[in-house]
Structure 1
Amino acid sequence: MSSFIHLRFQEHSCHNLCSALHPLTSLISTLRCFPAIYNFGDANSDTGADSATFGRLPYPNGETYFGKPSGRMCDGRLIVDFIAEKVGLPLLNAYLDSLQSNFRHGANFAASQATIQPVNGQLCEGHYSPLSLGIQLLEFEQLKVRTYEFYNEANISHTKGKGGLPRPKDFSEALYTIDCGQNDLYFLVTTMTEDQAKAAIPNITNQFVQVIEKLYQEGARKFWIHNTGPIGCLPYMVMYHSKANEVDEIGCIKSYNEVAQEFNKQLKYRTDQLSCDLQGVEVTYVDIYSAKYTLIKEATNHGFVDRFEYCCGNANCKCWEKSETNVSACSNPSQYISWDGLHYTEAANYWIASRIVNGSYSDPPTSLLNAR
């Protein structure tokens, strides 16, 4: 990533950044594709749930854009932040963050270490968040019910805004984004054989689809679904889990990526079924895997350092761990794809977001600006 782009991250306003992502610059400030976004997922889109619930993430997380820890396992913004900016909305507040949260334009239920599967049995608390996708759904349902109760008790029109609460009418017009599955796959590939892992995938995709179906029953109609990225290319995985004969042509763990690809194949099939079965639903399936793999494969071509280097922390001190002591980070995170070995930098998130919002990696290939 060039130094010019890095400066733009720090100097440009929200709408200018939206303009950088799309040529329709004059429309960004006046045209909103959606009145709100409701997001569900894991650390790839967590804007503060884990930090608010289990302890604040330490600096240097957040250093590039926010200048302080922001609840994101990143030096700056995430893909979901750039999506919000793209459609002219504020960055999403975490639902579980009680300080200065405003849900007028949506809410973020994603939590770091969250899984699609509920945390019980084999998935042990301590390794994974109890705030699984099903729990995030319950949080959304509570927000919706209590919002309606407040408007009805106060005799306020459902079309009018009230403080930091959503407008009830916006629930059916909002965009529902989901990015979850990486932690489920991590559990599979590190505890099972490849065949066992692939055999476990249908149960996981079933639970994913059940959440979409329940959101549909709650009135959601427009979905933006990310498949899972190439888990075998994460520097942490390559460093601690790979063997020389298990890597592909660019050094990623081949078997891990094959499990991810099988998950994505099944998820795509199930979401295609939803488009046929649910009347009025609009499901956009986003191939995050291909976007991320392309970036990792072509890292140096796009101004990044070696694809498996990361900026923050080391083998003994992890950047994502809650600690009294600040972890050291590199001086130029915009040159790294990986922030801490597991999560992406703002620069990488910007690169990916700029290529998915126009529909290049989507099925159907619809730009967010045209998905109203």
Structure 2
Amino acid sequence: MEGSTASNFVLGFVIFLALAGQLVEAQTQSKKAIASALYVFGDSTIDPGNNNQLNSIAKANFSPYGRDFPDHKATGRFTNGKLATDILSELSGLPDLLPASLDPNFQGEKLLTGASFGSASSGYDDSTSKTLKVLTLGKQLENFRHYRLQLANMTGQGNATKIISEAIFALSTGSNDFINNYYANPLMSKKYTLAQFEDILLQSLRGFVQSIYNEGATRLVIIGLPPFGCCPSQITLHNVLNGSCYEKFNEVATSFNEKTIALTKEMTLSFPALRIAYYDIYAKLYDMIKYPTKYGFKETRKGCCGTGLIEASILCNKGTPTCNDPSKYVFWDSFHPTSEAYNSIAKDLFSEVLMQLNS
């Protein structure tokens, strides 16, 4: 075999091995995946940077947010690294970072495996979202429909329908409706009793489920309210002398969660082609706060950013010092969990809920 011919043969064989390796890896990934895509909606707990594209102060695209990513890049996620939905995506056999639907780079093959349509500071009620000029739940759904058109243009209508029908949808919102709306706006609490306001939110939840059902969703996870009375900022604002969780807010979360569970059972009958699961994040996060050493944490009263008592969003910025080891903290800032806490939540959500939906 002549030299040039041999060289070409070797080069071709190397390329063949590389392509074969990629094919095996893709097939392995495909076999491992429990869903075609992951679509999430809600607030800052699942927003990976959609608000970066909005004229709103509700952003986290600056240091020290994202400080524990390999490149220390602030993506818009309200934590030090990954969100629970990023980790959930990876556990499901999908990419380890769930992209923001409004990210200019969200195009091409990235469209195939899902996205987050969430918006920090949003809620079930439109007035909650409009306060800080962020995406209402209705607008998030509108953006999903626009995404679906892009997906259909790329893959064909039949393939787009198949991807959506084999995807997992998730919804995580509600805390802002109470913290930044009902209890922050005297007009709202005068206009509605707490029970009436909760009913308004539940109507929005039902409308959301109806919408994704119409879009062909077959699996949905509804994430309940966390014990937001245990957020450092809420303790500082409402129970600073005692220094413990503000139980009034926790009771609100518990009450709303009970109504959400009841509605979930009712919707299971109303939407027979849609499997709906409820995830009790309240119990998981409350256990982490009450028994931190069980999860490897030490600090539950303060966030890692600044004093940890009030700093969040623009108050947690590049001039704000942070703790040395966020892995020992349940909270990153005074409102949002660390990526370490999100990791524990995601693993629990995956094993307790997603595997149930996939069975």
TM-score with structure 1 setting the length: 0.79
Deviates more, 1:33-42 or 1:51-60: 51-60
Which residue of 124, 142, 157 corresponds with 1:116? 124
Say whether 1:87 aligns with 2:74: no
Instruction: Provide the residue aligned with 1:228 in structure 2.
Output: 225
Could you tell me which amino acid in structure 1 is paired with residue 295 of structure 2? H
From the superposition, tell whether residues 237 and 322 of structure 1 become closer, same or farther in structure 2 (CA, over 3 Å).
closer
Alignment partner, residue 219 of structure 1:
216
**163, 166, 183: which one pairs with 1:189?**
183
Q: Structure 2 vs 1, CA of residues 304 and 188 (structure 1 numbering), >3 Å: closer, same or farther?
A: same
Match status 1:272 vs 2:272: no
Matched, 1:327 2:331: no
CA distance in 1, matches of 2:76, 2:46: 10
Q: Residues of 2 paired with 1:257 and 1:322: CA distance?
A: 25
CA RMSD of aligned residues (A): 2.7
Residues 204 and 324 (structure 1), Cα distance of their counterparts in 2 relative to 1, 3 Å cut: closer
Deviations 1:277-313 (A, max 9, x none): 1121100110011111111111134332231111013
Change (3 A) 1:29 1:337: farther
Sequence identity (%): 26
Point out the structure with max Rg over C-alpha.
2
Aligned counterpart, 1:6:
none
Contact 2:233 2:310 in 1 (8 A): no
Per the alignment, residue 199 of structure 2 pairs with: 202
Q: 1:105: how far off?
A: 0.4
What is the DSSP-based 3-state SS (H/G/I as helix, E as strand, rest coil) of the residue aligned with 1:271? helix
Residues 78 and 336 of structure 2 are in contact (CA less than 8 Å); yes or no, is this contact kept in structure 1?
yes
The two structures have a TM-score, normalised by structure 2, of 0.82
Name the SS for the 1:38 alignment partner.
strand
Query: Structure 1 residue 105 and structure 2 residue 106: aligned?
Result: no
Moved more, 49-58 or 174-183: 49-58
Q: Deviations over 1:185-231 (max 9, x none)?
A: 21223446799323310111111111111110111111011001001
Partner of 1:70, secondary structure, is: coil
* 1:16-40 deviations in Å (ceiling 9; x for gaps): xxxxxxxxxxx87732110001110
**Which structure 2 residues correspond to residues 102-181 of structure 1 after superposition, within 5 A?**
102-119=110-127, 123=128, 125=130, 127-148=131-152, 150-151=153-154, 157-158=156-157, 167-181=160-174
- Give the direction of change, closer, same or farther, for the CA distance of 1:118–1:183 in structure 2 (3 Å limit): same
Q: Which runs of 5+ in 1 are unaligned?
A: 1-26, 161-166, 360-365
Indicate how the Cα distance of structure 1 residues 260 and 56 shifts in structure 2: closer, same or farther if over 3 A, else same: closer
Which one has more relative contact order, counting CA pairs under 8 Å at least 6 apart? Answer: 1
Tell me, yes or no, if the aligned pair for 1:58 and 1:322 is still in contact at 8 Å.
no
Aligned to 2:348: 355
Contact 1:77 1:346 in 2 (8 A): yes
d(CA) in 2 for partners of 1:356, 1:124: 26
Cα distance in 1 between the residues matched to 2:199 and 2:78:
29
Q: Is the 8 A contact 1:178 1:225 kept in 2?
A: yes
- 2:32 alignment partner, SS class: coil
Q: Could you tell me which runs of 5 or more consecutive residues in structure 2 were left unpaired when the two chains were aligned.
A: 1-27
SS in 1 for 2:77: coil
Amino acid at match of 2:50: A
Structure 2 contact 51–76 (Cα < 8 Å) conserved: yes
1:11 is matched with none
Distance of 1:52 and 1:356 partners within structure 2: 29
Q: Is the 8 A contact 2:306 2:320 kept in 1?
A: yes
1:119-177 deviation digits (Å, cap 9, x = unpaired): 3xxx474x4343011110111112213433x25xxxx64466xxxxxx34211111111
1:69 aligns with 2:61: no
**Closer, same or farther in 2 for the Cα pair 1:56/1:367, shift >3 Å?**
closer
Q: Give the AA of the match of 2:121.
A: Q
Q: Which amino acid aligns with 1:311?
A: C
